Amino acid sequence: MIQVEDLTKFYNDLCAVDHISLEIPKGEIMGLLGPNGAGKTTTLRMLTGYFKPTSGRIRIKDHDVDEQPVAVKGLIGYLPESAPLYPGMLVYDYLSYIADIRGLRGEAKIARIRDLVDHCGLHDIMHKTIGELSKGLKQRVGLAHAMMSDPEILILDEPTSGLDPNQIVEIRDIIRAIGQEKTVILSTHILSEAEATCDRIVIINKGRIVADDRTANLKNATGGMRQISLGLQNATEADTLQTLGTLEGVADVTARPNADDGVLDVTLTCRSGSDPRAAIYAAVKATDWILLEFVQHARDLESIFRELTKEN
Amino acid sequence: MQQVVFILKKELQDFFISPIAYIVMTVFLLVTGWLFFSAFFVFDQADMRNFFNLLPMTFAFVIPAITMRLFAEEMSTGSYETLLTLPVTFRDIILGKYLAGLALVAALLLPTLSYPLFISFMGELDWGPVIGGYIGALFMGAAFTGVGLFASALTRNQIIAFITGAVICFALTVIERMLFFVPGALLKIVSQLGASLHFQNIARGIIDSRDLIYFVSVAFLGLYASHLVMQEKK
C-alpha cells in the first residue's frame, strides 16, 4: 500500500528525517512514536505530499507522491497536528466545502456529511464557527474532514493531543473502527495510546527508525527482563542482598528502607528467560522476615521507549 | 477547473465573513467619492476624468489590502497545510484565490457606477471615456490583484503582505513621474512600465491592445511568481 524508500529531509543544515524506509500494508494501523522533534510530523507531511523530500521515494498504491500528487492526495485523508481549519467558517460550510473539493455531489454529499456528523458527534455544533470550538470539538471536525472521501489511507498527526480522557477513548474507538478496513498511520508521543490502538509501532528518534515491530512483539521482546518488587519487614539491607542476590535467575538486587514506615523496599531484576519467583518466596519463608508486598512488573513500552530514545 | 470554482466560492465567502471586505469598501468609496466630488463642482464639467485620474493611486493601496489575507492568513493559521493536502493543484489554488480577489475588486467598483448616472442627470456626459475607464479599471485591478497575491504568498504576516504589495503597486503607478531620473537609453523601456500611463490610455476611450497586454502580463507575472513561491515552500 505505502512504500517509503530511503526518505531524507533536510531543513537547511538540519537533518529532520534521516534515511527512513518503511512498508505499510493495507489494513494496518501503524503508530509513529518518538520524542518531540524526532521527525514524526515531517515524515507524515512528506507522505501526504505537503513537503518535498530532500531525497528518497514514496509510492502510495501505484502512484509516486512526487509525480502524481493530486492522485495521491485523493487517496489520503489527512488531519494535521492541532487541526488547523479555517477559523471563520461554520462547521457545516466547511464540511460542505471539503465535500465539494473531494468530488462528492448532490445526494451523496448530503448523505456523507450526515454519516460523519453521526460518527464524530457533530450534531450540536454544525452552525458554530470553527474558531469558537473547544480543542476537542475542533479535533472532531478535523477528523470528519479527514474522513470525508472515505479515503483508503488515513493519516493523523497527534489525533488525541489536547483532548480529555473521555474524548481520547472516543477518538480511539473511531480510529480502531476505521482501521478494520483502512490503512491508518498516526503519530503520537503518548505510549499507552499507541499500545491501545496500533497493530504496529515504529519508534523514531532524531530522524532515524530505532524500532519497528508489531505492538505485541515489541512488548514481549523485552518481557524476559522482568522486575519484581518486594516489601519486607524485619529485614536489613545487608541480609537481603546476601540472601536474595545469590538466588538462581536474579541478576541484580537493590534494597532501601522506606522512610515512612521502615519497611524495606527491595527491587529484583531477573535474568531474561528465568522465573525465580518460587525461589524468592522459599528464601523469604526460611527467614523471620514478614513479606508485605510481592509484585512483578513486565517491562512496559514506556521503558523501552525511554531506552531507545534517550540521549546518546 | 471545477476545483477553481469551489476555491473561488469559498474565498469570496471568507471575504464577506471577515470585516476586511466591508472596511476596505467603505474606505475606498469614502476616499474616491470625497476626492472626486469635492473637485467635481469646482471644475463644473460633466465628466469623470478626475475620478479615473485618482484611481491608479487608490487601487495601489486598496487592492493589496484586499489580497493581503489570501495566502498570508492561511499560512499563519496553518490551514495552508490542510489546503495543500486536498486533491487540488497549485494552479487551482492560485486561480481560485486570484479570481476571488478580482471579483472583490469588481464589487468595489460596482457602487461607483452610480457616479456617472448622477452626472448624466446634471449634464451631457460622454459615455465613451466612462466605459473605457471602467474597462481599464478592471484590467488595472487584474494586474494589481496579481501583484497583491504574490506579495501575500511571500509571508505569513498580513501587514508585511500589504506593505510589499502596496510598494510594488505604488512604484508601478508613479514610475512615469520619475522618468526624469532615468538615463536616456532606458527611457523608452521604463516609460512603458508605468501602470497609470496604460490606464489613462484606456480611460481616454482608446482601447489599444498594447495597454491590455501590459496589464495581462503584470497579472500573469504575479500569478507565476506566486506559483514559484508555493513550489519553493514545499
Question: In CATH, which superfamily holds the domain spanning A227-306?
Answer: MTH889-like domain (3.30.70.1340)
Q: In chain A, what percentage of residues exceed pLDDT 90?
A: 19
Q: How far is CA A134 from the centre of its chain?
A: 23
pLDDT of residue B96: 96
The average pLDDT across A84-104 equals 92
B156 touching A (Cβ < 8 Å): no
CA dist A177 and B200 (Å) reads 65
Flag if A85 and B82 touch (Cβ within 8 Å): yes
Average pLDDT over residues A235-254: 81
pLDDT for B212 beyond 60? yes
Contact in structure between A58 and A7 (CB atoms under 8 Å): yes
Binning pLDDT at 50, 70 and 90, where does residue A169 land? confident
pLDDT at A90: 92
Task: Say which of B9, B17, B234 has its CB closest to residue A88.
Answer: B17
Q: How many CB pairs under 8 A join A and B?
A: 63
Asked if the model's pLDDT at residue A223 lies above 70, the reply is no
Contact across the interface for B14 and A88, Cβ inside 8 Å? yes
Q: Under an 8 A CB cutoff, do A89 and B13 touch?
A: yes
Are A144 and A116 in contact by the 8 Å Cβ rule? The answer is yes
Specify whether the CB–CB gap between A59 and A6 falls below 8 A. no
What percent of chain B has a predicted confidence (pLDDT) above 70? 100
What is the tens place of the pLDDT at every residue in B10-38?
999 988 888 888 999 999 999 998 988 88
For residue B37 the three cell numbers come to: 466630488
Judge whether B13 is closer than 8 Å to chain A, CB to CB: yes
* Cα B76 from Cα B125, distance rounded (Å): 48
Residue A81 has pLDDT above 80, yes or no: yes
Which sequence spans correspond to the domains of chain A? 2-221, 227-306
List the single residue in B with minimal CA-CA distance to A46: B234
Percent of chain A's residues with pLDDT above 70: 95
Query: What are the C-alpha distances in Å from B66 to residues A85, A110, B6, B165?
Result: 21, 33, 19, 10
Backbone angles phi, psi at A219, to 5 degrees: -75, -35
The domain limits of chain B are 2-233
> E strands within chain A?
2-11, 14-24, 29-33, 55-60, 63-64, 76-79, 153-157, 183-188, 200-205, 208-214, 227-233, 250-257, 264-270, 290-297
Class of the CATH domain delimited by A2-221: alpha beta
A295-299, B28-32, B34-38, B49-53, range with the lowest pLDDT: A295-299
Closest residue of chain B to A47, computed from CA coordinates: B85
B82, A45 in Cβ contact below 8 A? no
With 60 as the cut, is the pLDDT of residue A312 above it? Answer: no
Is the Cβ pair A50, B88 closer than 8 Å? no
Render pLDDT for B129-171 as a digit per residue (tens, 0 to 9): 899 999 999 999 999 999 999 999 999 999 999 999 999 999 9
Q: Verify whether the Cβ–Cβ distance B87 to A80 is below 8 Å.
A: no
Listed range (A188-202, A265-279, B206-220) with the worst mean pLDDT: A265-279
Interface test with B, best of A11, A41, A45, A50 (most B CBs within 10 A): A50
- pLDDT digits 0-9 by tens, B126-139: 888 899 999 999 99
> CA nearest B73 in A: which residue?
A86
- Chain A contact set for B77 (CB, 8 A): 84, 86-87
ipTM of the complex: 0.87
Confidence at A225, pLDDT banded by 50, 70, 90: low
Strand ordering across the sheet containing A55-60: A14-24, A2-11, A55-60, A63-64
Looking at residue B204, what is its pLDDT?
Answer: 85
CA gap A211, A30 in Å, rounded: 13
Grid cell digits, residue A195: 499500545
CA distances from A309 to A33, A140, A305 (A): 10, 31, 6
> What's the farthest any 2 CA atoms get from each other in chain B?
58
B22 touching A, CB under 8 A? Answer: no
Q: What average pLDDT does the structure give for chain B?
A: 90
Higher pLDDT, B100 or A311: B100
Assess A99–B contact: CB distance below 8 Å, yes or no: no
Q: Is the per-residue pLDDT at A310 higher than 90?
A: no
CB contact under 8 A, B13 and A73: no
Q: Residue range A144-164: average pLDDT?
A: 87
- Please tell me the predicted confidence (pLDDT) of residue A298: 63
Residues of chain A positioned with their CB less than 8 A from the CB of B96: none
Q: Is-contact A280 A246, C-beta < 8 A?
A: no
The span from the CA of A165 to the CA of B118, in Å, is 66
| A208-214/A200-205 β-pairing | antiparallel
Q: For residues B81 and A60, give the distance between their C-alpha atoms in angstroms, rounded to a whole number.
A: 19
Beta bridge partners of A297: A227
Query: Could you tell me which residues are beta bridge partners of residue A14?
Result: A11
